[in-house]
Structure 1
């Protein structure tokens, strides 16, 4: 079936910052080192190779092997982990929250983008190896962002008993209580081979693993183990220990704040929305049951809303003794990732790239190579029947992304047998009033205000008539209007991009493994277009 594409700007869903970054606008050149085109990877490889030690590789490999001890690991994933011990192996990474049952569709798009880029790079640079990595955001603590998924227009939500006024990092959450979600999901997804597989996947992930980290690792591993995906958490003490020099710089010098505040201000001065504003200390203290900000005041360090305080010597001793208790926030997590991984490129959504673009000076201050930043693939999945409906309604791919009222108004104007565009009448009216302005200017200037008021009144009258006529035509063409609205509602649930709303299970229940196969075939991360992918009827 055919695959179409439109530009990201034509979707009207991407920020000016991201669109300008994709266009490589000159004013953004100082916010990144290399743009992610195939010819720039050689230099990125050489730079990372010089800055990533064999000692860090050994720690990383051993940590990953421990993380996989209780999981069935594929030969390709194990080979990728072991390859990371060589200085000719590099990673391509994406990160994602531990959303229940993967959350929205773009979870798949992120990981497939990463895997496909490693294949492209291997073909271009056969002398190196490239490992796809999914970084689990195990230390996030916003439970409300991850505790649900949408299926067939219904919200399936997990109401964990652990969720109270404060919460540990979500990766440690017990999966207790997900039996009810499983029962509801099983009833909704129905029967059939692919539906049964999805039920088994949910059950084994969430009812047979004790915490959200292990459940998510199992789920992602089952979906992508054949492709060699390496799934990692980073809360392990041995990985945190590698990061302790940078944590110390943060505590003593407020390094991330001092290094990013100017770049954040520069983005704002250029007219862009600043995604994240840095704090003076961008660290949390992570302990059983809570993850709270570390604050410095009067030469002492405190944990926000906790009866915990340290002197400088005491907090440095705590860092040395228990590095796993120090958790980077969104401003420091990218540096943590690049310190412990031989990474070349981070693939993320628009919001993620927006805060990465604030960080280049911070990386330079810490002498860590800044990775290439690549926007993940985006796609709209439609059936052949939906594509045929769109063509019968004479809706272009670009028009499909319009706001619904704008789309309907445009199509009603086009298919009506009368002209509902009063532009000519308005132009004629403006010309008539120009003659009256000229006359008033030659006779009595005080008359100009009255002329202007009358012009505004009559233009408003024409607008009102045009809207009434359009409304009448909508009623007359209600069948066409209904078909247009129904089609767009199917493809844009909750008036949003499908990939940000719909869970993969909704599509997998129909197409099974063909879903992944087609996405792998169609999503090229170096092709910066929004894909519209058509699946045949089943």
Structure 2
């Protein structure tokens, strides 16, 4: 393996909010509690240990054991679940949607970041125990976001009518996807392993939550990963006081709007709160709860309650109340003894809107860590880039800009007409002076002529550049193919490509290589040559 690093800012793929957070810009200080430096975890451990009750631990462990009841579990995971009973055990958490066959590569990077940070904390604070947790987003309802994955430039999609929470979706129709997958993966020994993994996950489990749990456990079980489905009656019961306050007081709306007023002075907002940030959940149904004309109503249904009836429903069926993007982070921190949330740029952006809300409800606000980001290239691809005298870092540029710079570099003639443009501007200064001395009405005519001639030089530049591209077409084509291979659809590889493409090449060494290489606290984008 060979490693190189590039700053997140230089990639051009991350927002100013995220790059400012990584650079510890002081204007973001009011929006988070502690920056993810290793020493900062000492106080975070104290705060969370003090606030998280043994009763909550007991409920959590029982729920996890029930969820793992029908799954082959490693000793490491069993020990980690048992350890959650003890007050000195804390978690590091990441969350992700139930994407088909993990979806894009960053599913792996999130979990590897979480496992690796748990190890780093274990070394730094040996008197505590740290458990990596993957939070399955089983209550999401946007099926179109998760019903496919990309393989070798093609979209492999699960077509199905979907209503309600995606975790409860039955897996009918995935047998057809499996036939497509089987043909696409080929017949190598590694392909057989991948096909068996897909089949065992999706054709031998009845719903998407169970299938995803099986898949994530199969990939990471020997590393002690604990997978949680928070769509659970007992876990929701722990959240009743906060659900009640949300329904009656609209607290999250008020506090997030106050935070937004400060944040939007510098940045765009990732999410906007509703007056009530909860859905109502039944089989095949997940719709917003609204308050109007002194009654509570579930949108697009006939379900209505008085306040008294609503509170009774909440007490009897807390599992029917589903937090949206604003309330979900609080739910996570209420039911887990969590220190740190690891997420992508978009996730951290909405977490940074929530600190005031957390302070109001007196739940410790977690440390926020940007997940590892990786570009994987083969040794052969790196060698091709070296022959072209192009760095991998240069590939993060816009393709047109990349090609133009390369053509200018290789060209035997100077394509840059900047000196000629400057010379022309100097000549027109004398013409402006002449126009002012004779008839100022000519100034406009002089300006028009200057613009016309400058544009003429620009057009000549473009024509010359096109001619040189044709002359250097071999180099242009090779560079274009390399960038397209490493940046599919002109985007980051990790946001497009499925892990299966790399698993077919590297087999079961892929995840160990990532575990050995990814430093969760590096704060840089990794370029990994395998």
In 2, Cα distance between equivalents of 1:232 and 1:454? 70
**What are the within-5 Å matches in structure 2 for residues 295-306 of structure 1?**
295-306=290-301
Q: 1:377 aligns with which of 372, 376, 381?
A: 372
For the Cα contact (< 8 Å) 1:98–1:213, is it kept in 2? yes
Aligned to 1:41: 41
Pairs aligned (count): 530
Q: 1:432 aligns with which of 427, 431, 436?
A: 427
CA drift at 1:442: 3.4
Aligned to 2:240: 244
Q: 2:249 aligns with which of 228, 253, 261?
A: 253
In 2, Cα distance between equivalents of 1:354 and 1:322? 32
**What are the within-5 Å matches in structure 2 for residues 451-466 of structure 1?**
451-466=446-461
CA drift at 1:446: 2.2
In 2, Cα distance between equivalents of 1:277 and 1:430? 50
Q: 2:316 aligns with which of 321, 338, 341?
A: 321
Q: 2:355 aligns with which of 323, 343, 360?
A: 360
- The alignment partner of 2:264 has SS state of helix
Q: 2:171 aligns with which of 171, 175, 188?
A: 175
In 2, Cα distance between equivalents of 1:426 and 1:352? 46
CA drift at 1:457: 1.1
Aligned to 2:303: 308
Aligned to 1:88: 88
In 1, Cα distance between equivalents of 2:260 and 2:453? 47
In 2, Cα distance between equivalents of 1:278 and 1:442? 63
For the Cα contact (< 8 Å) 1:6–1:397, is it kept in 2? no
For the Cα contact (< 8 Å) 1:136–1:232, is it kept in 2? yes
CA drift at 1:438: 2.6
In 2, Cα distance between equivalents of 1:488 and 1:498? 10
Greater displacement, 435-444 / 197-206: 435-444
Deviations 1:57-83 (A, max 9, x none): 111011101110010111000100110
In 2, Cα distance between equivalents of 1:517 and 1:37? 25
For the Cα contact (< 8 Å) 1:360–1:370, is it kept in 2? yes
Aligned to 2:141: 141
- The alignment partner of 1:512 has SS state of helix
Aligned to 2:221: 225
In 1, Cα distance between equivalents of 2:412 and 2:443? 40
Q: 1:510 aligns with which of 505, 510, 513?
A: 505
**What are the within-5 Å matches in structure 2 for residues 244-283 of structure 1?**
244-270=240-266, 272-283=267-278
CA drift at 1:153: 1.0
Deviations 1:150-191 (A, max 9, x none): 11111100012x32xxx1100000001101110111111112
In 1, Cα distance between equivalents of 2:252 and 2:394? 43
For the Cα contact (< 8 Å) 1:293–1:303, is it kept in 2? yes
Deviations 1:11-52 (A, max 9, x none): 110011100110110111000000001010000000111111
- The alignment partner of 1:70 has SS state of coil
For the Cα contact (< 8 Å) 2:296–2:305, is it kept in 1? yes
In 1, Cα distance between equivalents of 2:446 and 2:275? 58
In 1, Cα distance between equivalents of 2:128 and 2:460? 68
Deviations 1:448-500 (A, max 9, x none): 22221111111111111100100011111111110010000110111110000
In 1, Cα distance between equivalents of 2:124 and 2:180? 47
**What are the within-5 Å matches in structure 2 for residues 385-464 of structure 1?**
385-464=380-459
For the Cα contact (< 8 Å) 2:217–2:227, is it kept in 1? yes
Deviations 1:237-282 (A, max 9, x none): 0000000110111111101100001212322221x12100111110
Aligned to 2:56: 56
- The alignment partner of 2:24 has SS state of coil
- The alignment partner of 2:349 has SS state of helix
Aligned to 2:7: 7
For the Cα contact (< 8 Å) 1:14–1:350, is it kept in 2? yes
Deviations 1:493-534 (A, max 9, x none): 111100001100110011011111110011111001111111
Q: 1:526 aligns with which of 488, 511, 521?
A: 521
CA drift at 1:445: 2.5
Aligned to 2:207: 211
Structure 1 stretches of 5 or more lacking a match?
Answer: none
In 1, Cα distance between equivalents of 2:367 and 2:388? 42
Aligned to 2:151: 151
Q: What TM-score do the two structures reach when normalised by structure 1? A: 0.98
Deviations 1:371-397 (A, max 9, x none): 000000000000000000111111123
CA drift at 1:435: 2.1
